[in-house]
């Protein structure tokens, strides 16, 4: 080939076809998507919690896309029905994820509604799941003297015996930790979607 115009034009056509298929057509289709009736927009606290989730890269170990029965035992593991496009109506950025180093979290709010569990688990995952390889997030908490915390009206978290700090100290969650837990508790897509999620 001798002609740089043909090279550039051919390269652009190739990219154009790919972009049409993977970006433009989905964009056109996505405009028809409506949110399921029972899906609520995120509250302010949940939005802040979602930002904490993104900032700390939770998405690199946890997916948010349970799959169909034909593709694995997601339903049997209690991760919920296969997700549909409408489930993500309010999501920006999307957090579908591509790894399951940890379990799928699309319905963690339904599976594990306890705030105390979430806070304690973030502080030290191995206190609840002995073999877990999830990092601990001590920087989302403050360790304070029990006396001082009581004076300031903090609400310390409860931890299984042996995982807390010194006897006269308590662990107090930061606002980020509380927001993150609000977001996790809100991850509940157990409502039914009708018609059935058929592949279009």
Which residue in this structure is represented by tokens 């409408």? 86
Q: Does 133 bind other proteins (CB under 8 A)?
A: yes
Q: How far is CA 157 from the centre of its chain?
A: 22
Map the footprint of other proteins across residues 140-159, applying CB under 8 A: none
Question: What residues between 80 and 119 interact with other proteins by CB under 8 A?
Answer: 82-85, 87-96, 98-103
User: In terms of DSSP bridges, do strands 169-173 and 141-145 run parallel, antiparallel, or are they unpaired?
Assistant: antiparallel
- Cβ closest to other proteins, residue 69 vs residue 151: 69
* 192 binds other proteins per the rule CB under 8 A: no
In angstroms, the CA 106 to CA 83 distance is 9
Residue 9 touches other proteins, criterion: CB under 8 A: no
Crossing angle between the packed helical segments 44-55 and 175-186, to the nearest 10 degrees: 100
Q: Which residues pair with 18 in a beta bridge?
A: none
Window 61-80: residues binding other proteins (CB under 8 A): 61, 63, 65, 67-68, 71-73, 76-77
Q: Is 34 in the site for other proteins (CB under 8 A)?
A: no
125 binds other proteins (CB under 8 A): yes
């Amino acid at each position: 080939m001798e002609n740089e115009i043909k090279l550039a034009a051919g390269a652009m056509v190739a990219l154009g076809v790919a972009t049409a298929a993977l970006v433009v057509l989905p964009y056109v289709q996505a405009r028809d998507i409506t949110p399921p009736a029972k899906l609520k927009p995120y509250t302010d606290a949940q939005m802040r919690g979602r930002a904490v989730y993104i900032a700390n890269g939770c998405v690199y170990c946890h997916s948010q896309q349970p799959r169909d029965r034909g593709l694995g035992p997601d339903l049997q593991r209690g991760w919920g029905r296969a997700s549909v496009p409408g489930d993500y109506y309010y999501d920006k950025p999307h957090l579908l994820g591509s790894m399951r180093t940890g379990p799928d979290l699309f319905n963690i709010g339904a599976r594990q509604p306890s705030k105390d569990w979430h806070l304690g688990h973030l502080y030290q995952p191995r206190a609840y799941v002995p073999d877990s390889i999830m990092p601990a997030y001590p920087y989302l908490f403050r360790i304070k003297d029990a006396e001082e915390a009581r004076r300031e009206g903090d609400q310390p978290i409860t931890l299984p015996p042996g995982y807390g700090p010194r006897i006269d100290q308590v662990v107090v969650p930061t606002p980020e930790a509380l927001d993150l837990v609000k977001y996790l508790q809100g991850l509940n897509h157990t409502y039914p979607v009708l018609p059935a999620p058929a592949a279009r």
